[in-house]
A = this chain, B = another copy of it.
Amino acid sequence: MEQGSKGQGKKEPLELLRSHNLRVTPQRLEILKQIQRTEDHPSATELHRRVRRKFPNISLDTVARTLEQFAKIGICRWVEGYDDVRRYDGMMERHHHFHCIRCKRILDVRPEALEEPPLPSLRDERFKVIDFRILLEGICKKCMEREQDP
């Protein structure tokens, strides 16, 4: 809807924590900023590495626990993957994902970039569908260029 300030009417990190009755600690603030800023979809361990630049002895446990809290209250998400690490996504606007079969990166795909099907009118009584996403699979630009060259 609106474009200004901090994007889609998103609250400031500090405000966001307060509104969920989470104590505002410097560690949490930094974790929140990091997960909101990233373009990629890092694991807890990867994010721990990054947050450590600012808090050299923050524990992995704190990062993992915090991310899980965030995911449970809807500040961030888990993202689907094929390997054995759990990945997080700080982009909370509805979007789809592209998985590169070469480099394994996961790239965001805005809904406008796709002919999105209306809503899966499911002819199946085994479950109630709440939401759906499209999972694209292919080769990313970087990998394509790398494979073109000799």
Contact = CB atoms under 8 A, between A and B. Distances in A.
A82 B43 CA distance: 11
A26 interface: no
B141 A137 contact: no
A137 B126 contact: no
Interface in A114-141: 114-118, 120-141
A40 to B, nearest CB: 14
Given A80-B82, A120-B115, A130 B107 contact: no
Contact of A123 (B80, B113, B121): B113
A114 B122 contact: yes
A74 to B, nearest CB: 13
Interface of A: 78-86, 98, 100-101, 107, 109, 112-118, 120-141, 144
